[in-house]
Amino acid sequence: MSNPQRPALDCAGRFLDLSRPLVMGIVNTTPDSFSDGGALYRDGALDLERAFAHARTLCEEGAAILDIGGESTRPGANPVSLQEEQDRVLPLVERVAAELDVVISVDTSSAAVMREAAALGAGLINDVRALTREGALEAAAATGLPVCLMHMQGQPDTMQAAPSYADVVAEVRTFLAQRAAACAAAGIDRRRLLLDPGFGFGKTVAHNFQLLDRLPELARDGLPLLVGLSRKSLIGKVLARDDRERPAEGRLPASLALAVLAVERGAAIVRAHDVAATVDALAMFAAMREWGRQ
Ligand code: 7PJ
C-alpha cells in the first residue's frame, strides 16, 4: 500500500519511494505478446537499439521501474529456452543499467537469469511463478534483491481453461503468505518482498474483479502490492461487443481506470504498457491525497 511510513526500497543502490504510487513500465522482448508482440523485432530478431530506445522513452515518460522480460506468459504461449531468454534479456539489462537512471526489474522464473541479470545491474526480481522453479529461491536470495511474488493458478499454456476457486481472495492471500514464508526461510528479508495477485493468470473475469475490489485484504499482510492490469484480456471481455473482445489497441482508457481503482485500494506499483498516460492518471490520485484532506 502506498504508505508514508514505508522506507524506500533498496534496489541494488537505486531507491524506490513507495510513499506514492509508482509506475513499472513493461519492456517486452518476446516476439509473441498479445498486446505489444514483436514491436521490438526487426527481420525476426530482437533489435537491441529499438528495445533500448523504447526503454529510454518509458523512463522519460516517468516509469520508476522498467520490467524487462523475455518469456511470454500469455495464455497458450510457447515455452522459451533458457538460452533464448538470456539472449533477449541480458544485453538489454546491461545497457539500461549503464545508461538509464531507473530501477531494472527482470521478469523471469529462471534461477540463471536472476543471477546473471543481478550481476549486470538488475535491481528487482519479478517472478510470475513466485520463486517455485528449481533453484529460484536460492538464486533470488543470493542476489540480495527485492522480489515480487505473483500468484498464478496452473501454468500459462492451460491456466485460462477452467480457473476455479472456492474463495479466490482467500486462496491468493494464503498462497502469497506461504511463498513469503518460504522466502523468509531462504534468507530473503520480508522487507524486500512485494506481492501481486496475478490478474489474468488462471482467473475468470469475476475472479479478477473480486481480487481488485478486495485488494485491501491482500494489503493487510503489510507488504507492498504490485498490480498488472494493463491491456489485459479481462478488459477485452468486459468491453466486448457482439461476442468480439475489444482488441488490445482499444484498451487504454479502461487500463487507466483499473490502475486508479487499484491504487485507490492500496496498490503501490502499477505495471503498465502506456507509461505516460498511467503516470498522469496516478498523479491525480497523488494530488487528491496531497490536497484533498486539508
Ligand atoms: C504480470 C507480470 C503481472 C507481474 C505479466 C501481461 C502478461 N508480472 N508479467 N504481474 N503480467 N508481477 O503483461 O499481460 O500481472 S505478462
Residue 226 Cβ < 6 Å to ligand 1: yes
pTM: 0.96
When pLDDT is averaged across residues 241-255 and rounded to a whole number, the result is 97
User: Look-up: residue for cell 493458478?
Assistant: 153
pLDDT band at 218 (very low <50, low <70, confident <90, very high): very high
Q: Residue 83 pLDDT more than 90?
A: yes
Residues whose CB falls within 8 Å of the CB of residue 283, separated by 6 or more in sequence, listed in order:
none
What does the mean pLDDT of the chain come to?
94
Which residue type sits at 259? A
Residue 224 DSSP code: -
Which helix (H) or strand (E) segment holds residue 149: the answer is strand 147-150
Ligand 1 atom at minimum distance from 148 CA: 12
Grid cell in block for residue 157: 499454456
Grid cell in block for residue 30: 518476446
Calpha distance 175→195 (Å, rounded): 10
Q: Tell me: the pLDDT tens digits for 154-168? A: 888 888 888 989 999
Calpha distance 149→223 (Å, rounded): 11
End-to-end CA distance of the chain: 21
Contact 119, 90 (CB under 8 A): no
- Between 38 and 26, where is the model more confident? 26
Active site residue 271: yes
When pLDDT is averaged across residues 97-104 and rounded to a whole number, the result is 98
Ligand 1 atom at minimum distance from 229 CA: 15
